[in-house]
Amino acid sequence: NAGVMQNPRHLVRRRGQEARLRCSPMKGHSHVYWYRQLPEEGLKFMVYLQKENIIDESGMPKERFSAEFPKEGPSILRIQQVVRGDSAAYFCASSPHGGGLNTGELFFGEGSRLTVL
Amino acid sequence: SQQGEEDPQALSIQEGENATMNCSYKTSINNLQWYRQNSGRGLVHLILIRSNEREKHSGRLRVTLDTSKKSSSLLITASRAADTASYFCATDVRGGTSYGKLTFGQGTILTVHP
């Protein structure tokens, strides 16, 4: 039973390029969350998605960032025109059911580490 | 201080000793969770304690929750070198759209010397 799969594990981009990060949730999980971790800091919530729907994107920067979770295929976090401040580890997590009013355990992937030169 | 703030920031102990980490938070919560992160890896869930619980055990882990003080502690007994990692508390804030929106602290870096 594979866990949450993220790729690439490491990504290097130059300023102005685009970064695409992919996440396949655990089997049977239909809820996906993206978090960002800056160096020496805790994780910050970005977005929560279910299949074909963005449920909560309150942690997502208004510009250049977008996320999707299509009916088929992995969830994608897309960062356009990257800047140095986007350098961070981006973690995807999944759960078998939505948080509703009570968030249970989240299952995290190994993360994608983005470096912007 | 931030929601979910750990103390101490770093802890260094010898194998066999107990390690205690504390977490404070500001707003009412549904539950509080502890996660572990090895260097360069993803987070692994350790334990979840609900707002109506005061203490919970899992193997060598013991978690307490004091909602009146808005604080929690994680105790690792008989520590091992393999326990070396960063430990994060995460709160599920009560009310509103708490859809998996856990609020993480900055973590405690635990080093266990053999």
Instruction: Give the residue-averaged pLDDT of A17-38.
Output: 94
Residue A16 predicted with pLDDT over 90: yes
A33-81, pLDDT tens digit by residue? 999 998 878 899 999 999 889 988 999 999 999 999 999 999 999 999 9
Residue A46 C-alpha, separation from nearest chain B C-alpha, in angstroms: 8
Residue A56 in contact with partner chain B when CB distance is under 8 A: yes
* Cβ–Cβ gap B101/A55 under 8 Å: no
Q: How confident is the model at residue A11 (pLDDT cuts 50, 70, 90)?
A: very high
Q: Nearest by CB to A101, from B33, B98, B107: name it.
A: B98
Q: How confident is the model at residue A103 (pLDDT cuts 50, 70, 90)?
A: low
Residues B82, B86: Cα–Cα separation, whole Å? 12
Q: Could you write out the DSSP letters of every residue in chain B? A: --SSEEE-SEEEEETTS-EEEEEE-SS-EEEEEEEEE-TTS-EEEEEEEETT-SEEEETTEEEEEETTTTEEEEEE-S--GGG-EEEEEEEEESSS--SS--EE---EEEEEE-
Q: Which is nearest to B91 in space by CA: A95, A29, A43?
A: A43
* Cβ–Cβ gap B43/A56 under 8 Å: no
Beta-carbon-side half-sphere exposure of residue A117 (alpha carbons within 13 Å): 4
CB contacts, 8 Å: B106 with chain A:
40-42
Interface test with A, best of B9, B43, B98 (most A CBs within 10 A): B43
What pLDDT, on the 0 to 100 scale, is given for residue A51?
87
The region, left, alpha or beta by phi > 0 then psi within -120 to 50, assigned to residue B105 is: beta
Regions of chain B short of the pLDDT cut 50: 1-2
What pLDDT, on the 0 to 100 scale, is given for residue B99?
59
Residues A71, A73: Cα–Cα separation, whole Å? 7
Residues A71, B57: Cα–Cα separation, whole Å? 39
- Chain B residue with the nearest C-alpha to that of A39: B106
Residues A55, A45: Cα–Cα separation, whole Å? 13
Interface test with A, best of B3, B6, B87, B99 (most A CBs within 10 A): B99
A78-94, pLDDT tens digit by residue? 999 999 999 999 999 99
